[in-house]
Amino acid sequence: MVEHRAVRWTLSVLGVAHATLFLAACRPAIEVDSIQSETKLGEIDSGVLVPERQLVYSDPWCPAGVSYRRDDVSGSTVRGRIEHHSVVIDLRPETQYWDVSDSNIVQVSVVNRGEALVWIEGRLDNPEAEDWKNSIPSQLHLLPGETGTLGIAVYRPAEEYVGPEIFSDLRTKPNGHRQHWRKFDPERVEKLRLVIRSAAPDFALGNLWLTTAYPFIPGNKSDAMPTPFLDQWGQTRLGDWPRKIRDVSDIAQKTAHLDELGERPASWSRYGGWLDGPKLQATGFFRVEKFEDRWWLVDPEGHLFWSHGITGVDKPVYSAIDERESLFEWLPTRDNPDFAHCFRENQGKLQFDFREANLVRRYGDEWDPRSTRLALDRLDRWGINTAAAWSSEQVKRSGRIPYTPVVHLWFPKQARIGQTPDPFSPEFETRLEKAIERKTSAVRDDPWCLGVFVGNEIQWPHNLVSQVLRSDANQSANVAFRDWLKSKYGSIQDLNEAWSATYASFSEIGQIRFGEATPAREHDFEDLYEYFAKTFFRKSSLKLKEFLPQHLYLGARIHVCPTEVAKAALEFVDVFSLNYYTTLAGVGSVPLDADKPLVITEYHFGALDRGVPGWGLMGVFDQRERSRAYAGYLISALQHPNIVGAHWFSYSDQSAVGNPSSNNQIGFVDIADQPYDEMVTMASTLGRSLYQIRVNSGDLMTEMENVISDSVSMARPIPK
C-alpha cells in the first residue's frame, strides 16, 4: 500500500515556434482515491489504470497569459493563450528526482475544457534527455469536452531483469520489465515535459492529475508470469479485453462488422491513384514526377498516386518454441495434417505460427487463398493502396494492389566492415547481382510493382571511416581509402602536415591511434564516408536498373545514418526511403534543401491494452489514442511536399512471446486475425480523404479535426 499525498506542481511554460498541430479524442476520468493491486496486461479498463500513487511537485510558475489553479480534490487547471504555436510545461519534483522504479506506468489524466482540439506530447526525462536518449515519449489527443490519459510505460535496463529464465529473451516481460534502445533510469526522473498545442489560441485543461500505476513487481515475485503463458489461440492467458477469442466461432463473429466496412474509395484508379485528379503521362509502370510543387508517384495509367501502405500483409507471425514449450497451453504435433504447415525451422530453431493456425480454424483447407482474399478485401475497404515490404507472395502476385519487394543482402565477413557491406569488395557485385536476379525475376514486367528496395536497415555507423582504416590492410574498402588519400596528397609528408600526424607510410594510417582531429582530417573523413556510400548506392542502382530498367529504385530503407549517406543515396535513388519512428513524419538526415521524393517505409504506435506486453518503438496508452497518433503522423506526411508515401509496420501484432525477442502490439490485426476497430476505422476515414488532404493547403489541425470527426461518426460498438 502506498500513501497518497497532495499533488503539487512545478510548471515552466515556454513558447515554441514552428510546431505543427494535431489532435483527437480520449476517455473517462480516473478515481484518484483508489489503489490497485498488481494489474495484468490487457486489463486497462475504461481508458485508464487505477492510480497507485500521486507524484509531488513544487508550486507552479506561469508566464504572462497562462494561469494555474491547484485543486487537490478535483484536479488542477491550466489555461491561457498559446502565443507561438505551443506551450511547454515542465513538471518537476520537489526533490531532485522522482523514483518511479516501483511502477510500470506514469500517467497524466486531464480533461479538455477549451473550445478547440488539443494535442499533448509527453516526455519523461532523465538528466541530459534528448528525443533519442534518456527519455520516454507518449502523446494524447483531446477534442473539446473529452477526458483522456497520457500514459508513459517505464523502460528498464535489460541487465536488471530478475525472474524466470524462460522470459529472459523478451524485450518486454509480462510483468512490464521493458527494454528500449532509449536508455532510461527510472530512479532518476528529472521532469515530465508536456508540449501542448491547440487549434485555437486559447486552451484550458482541467481535472489534471499525475500518478503512477500498474506497480512493478520483479519477475521472481510476480504472478503476471505464469506458464503456460499463451492460450490455444496464441493470446496471453492473463486478463481480458474486447474481442478476446474464447471459442472458434468468435474468430468470425466478433469482426464481421469490420470485414464489411464500406467499399474501396470510388475516387481511386485501378492502382489506387487519384482517379478524379489530374492525369499525367501513362508509361505502364510506376514513376515519379514533381507536379505543382509537390512530388508524386504516378501510377501506370498516369494518375497521381500517394502510397498509403502496410508492411507484412498476410505474412506469418511466428513464435519461437524450441526449449520454450512450457509457455504454450497448446501446440499440435508436427505431423498433425491440419497444422503441420504452421511450423517452420529457422536457423535450426523450431517456430509456430498461431495466426495461421487460427486461419485454419476459421477456413479449414481453404485457409490460404481465403486468407489472401480477405487481406486484399480489407485493404480495399480500409483505404490502403500499397502492400509494403515483406507482404506475402500471394498478395504481391494477386494483381490487385501495388507492392514493394525487398532485395535482401548478405555478405561474408571478408565482404563487410562490421555489419556494413563493403561495396569495394569483388564479392559485393557478385552477390548483389545474384540477390537482385533472384528477387526480381518475377516482377520484371509487372506494372503492380511500385518499386524495389535494395537492402534493409543497413548499418551506417558514424565511425565507419575509422573502422575501414583500422581494418585488415587487404580489406577492399581500406585499399580504396588509402588509394584515395594517395591520390589527394601524393606523399605521406603532405598528409602528415594536413593531419598533424607522423605516419611513415600510407599503410600505417589507422594502424596507429588517431591523434586530435584537424579540420583537414575531418573534411577527408566526410569525403571518404561519402565516397563509400556513393559506391554502395551507385552499384546498387546500376545493377537494379540492369535487371529492371522500368521500375523505381527505392533505396535501402535507412533507419539511422549520417548526412553523408543521405546525400550519397539521393544522387542515385529514384525515391529515398527511410524508417522514421517519431511523433510526426519527417525527413530524418536528408538535407532540407534536397529536392527529391521520399517514402517513409516504417512507423508505428503500439499500446498497452490488448494483452501483448510491448508497445513498440513509439507507444501510447490505448487503441483510441493509437489510431489518433496514426492519423496525425499520416496527415503530416501527406502535407509534406517531398513525401510520396508512408508504410505502417506492420499488418499483424508480433507474438506475445516473441520470435524470440520482439513482442509488440503494433498491428492492424491481432494474433487471431481480428482487426483493431479503432485503427481500421481511422484508416478507412483517411483513405477516403487521402488525395484531398494531399492537395489542400489547410493546416494539420484543420485536417485532423475533419478526419477525427469523421472517424468518430463511423465508429461502431466494439463486441466484447
Question: What distance in Å separates the CA atoms of residue 42 and residue 179, rounded to the nearest whole number?
Answer: 19
Confidence of residue 255 (pLDDT cuts 50, 70, 90): low
Q: What are the chain's domains?
A: 13-215 (2.60.120), 248-279+309-405+575-714 (3.20.20.80), 413-442+452-547 (no CATH)
Instruction: Render 520-580 in DSSP notation, one character per residue.
Output: HHHHHHHHHHHHHHHHHHHHHHHHHHHH-TTS-B-TT-BSS--HHHHHHHHHH-SSEEEE-
DSSP SS3 for 83: coil
The secondary structure of 33-61, three-state, reads CCCCCCCCCCCCECCECCEEEECCECCCC
pLDDT digits (tens, 9 = 90+) for 279-290: 999 999 999 999
Burial 495-531 (b: 16+ CB within 10 A, else e): beebbebebeebeebbeeeeeeeeeebeebbeebbbb
pLDDT score of 485: 98
Q: Write the pLDDT tens digit of every residue in 527-546.
A: 999 999 999 999 999 999 99
pLDDT tens-place string over residues 100-133: 999 999 999 999 999 989 999 999 999 999 998 9
Task: Categorize the per-residue pLDDT at 19 as very low, low, confident or very high, splitting at 50, 70 and 90.
Answer: very low
Looking at 58-72, 144-158, 492-506, which range is the least confident one?
A: 58-72
Per-residue confidence (pLDDT) for residue 252, from 0 to 100:
73
Q: Is the pLDDT of residue 494 over 70?
A: yes
- Statement: residue 218 has pLDDT above 70: yes
pLDDT, tens digit, for every residue of 692-720?
999 998 888 889 888 988 888 887 766 55
Q: Confidence band (pLDDT; 50, 70, 90) for 6?
A: very low
* Residue found under cell 500483409: 313
Task: Give pLDDT tens digits for 401-437.
Answer: 999 999 999 999 999 999 999 999 999 999 999 999 9
Amino acid, res. 567: K
For a pLDDT cut of 90, what percent of the chain falls above it? Answer: 77
What per-residue confidence (pLDDT) applies to 649? Answer: 98
User: What are 464's strand-pairing partners?
Assistant: none
Specify the pLDDT at position 256.
Answer: 63
Residue 10's pLDDT is 29
Report the C-alpha gap between 185 and 595 in whole angstroms: 41
**Of 64-78, 149-163, 545-559, 639-653, which range is least confident?**
64-78
SS3 content of the chain, % helix, strand, coil (to 5): 25, 25, 50
Looking at residue 686, its amino acid is L
C-alpha 703/C-alpha 633 separation (Å) is 12
C-alpha cell at 659: 520470435
DSSP state of 112: E
3-state secondary structure of 217: coil
What residues are paired with 51 via a beta bridge? 213
Confidence at 399, pLDDT banded by 50, 70, 90:
very high
CA separation, residue 670 to residues 234, 359, 617 (Å)? 10, 12, 18
Q: How far apart are CA 260 and CA 240, in angstroms?
A: 25
Whether the pLDDT of residue 15 is over 90: the answer is no
Q: pLDDT tens, 344-363?
A: 999 999 999 999 999 999 99
Exposure on the CB side of residue 413, measured as CA atoms within 13 A:
2
% of residues, the chain, pLDDT over 70: 91
* Mean pLDDT computed over 146-167: 95
- CA–CA dist 252, 230 (Å, integer): 21
User: What is the edge-to-edge ordering of all strands in the sheet holding 304-305?
Assistant: 287-291, 294-298, 304-305
Give SS3 for 655: coil
Mean pLDDT of the chain: 89
Of 702, 14, 575, 651, give the one whose Cα is nearest residue 314. Answer: 651
Look at the chain and count its residues: 720
Tens of pLDDT, residues 325-349: 999 999 999 999 999 999 999 999 9
Pair 626, 648: CB distance under 8 Å: no
pLDDT at 553 over 70: yes
Mean pLDDT of 485-500: 97
Q: Assess contact for 140 and 120: CB atoms under 8 A.
A: yes
Distances (CA, A) of 674 to 615, 664, 682: 18, 16, 16
Q: How far apart are CA 459 and CA 516, in angstroms?
A: 26
pLDDT class of 249 with cuts at 50, 70, 90: confident
Q: What is the model's pLDDT at position 648?
A: 98
How much is the pLDDT for 260?
60
Question: Residues 380-419, buried b or exposed e (16+ Cβ, 10 A)?
Answer: bbbbbbbbbbbbbebbbebebbbbbbbbebebeeebbbee
Angle between helices 492-499 and 519-547 (to 10 degrees): 110
Residue entry with cell 513538471: 91
List the one residue out of 285, 306, 286, 284 whose CA is nearest residue 295. Answer: 306
Of 586 and 271, the one with more pLDDT: 271
pLDDT given for residue 339 in this prediction: 98
In three-state form (DSSP H/G/I as H, E/B as E, the rest C), the secondary structure along 395-439 is HHCCCCCCECCEECCCCCHHHEECCEECCCCHHHHHHHHHHHHHH
Question: CA-CA distances (angstroms) from residue 305 to 273, 383, 647?
Answer: 4, 13, 14
Q: Which residues touch 275 (CB under 8 Å, ≥6 apart)?
A: 266, 267, 268, 269, 303
Confidence bin at 5 (pLDDT 50/70/90)? very low
Residue 163 DSSP SS3: coil
pTM: 0.92
pLDDT higher for 494 or 716?
494
pLDDT of residue 395: 98
Q: Please, what is the Cα angle at 289 between 284 and 293, to 5 degrees? A: 150
- Can you read off the three cell numbers belonging to residue 556? 535501402
Distances (CA, A) of 452 to 52, 229, 548: 50, 39, 9
Taking residues 586-591, what's their average pLDDT? Answer: 87
In order, the DSSP letters of 586-647 are --TTS-TT----EEEEE---B-SSSS-SB--SSB-SSHHHHHHHHHHHHHHHHTSTTEEEEE
- How deeply is 118 buried, as exposed, middle or buried, from its count of CB atoms within 10 A (0-12, 13-18, 19+)? buried
According to DSSP, the β-strands at 307-310 and 643-648 are: parallel
Query: Please, are residues 286 and 401 in contact by the beta-carbon 8 Å criterion?
Result: no
For position 283, what pLDDT does the model report?
98
pLDDT higher than threshold 90 for residue 560: no
pLDDT of residue 245: 93
pLDDT of residue 253: 74
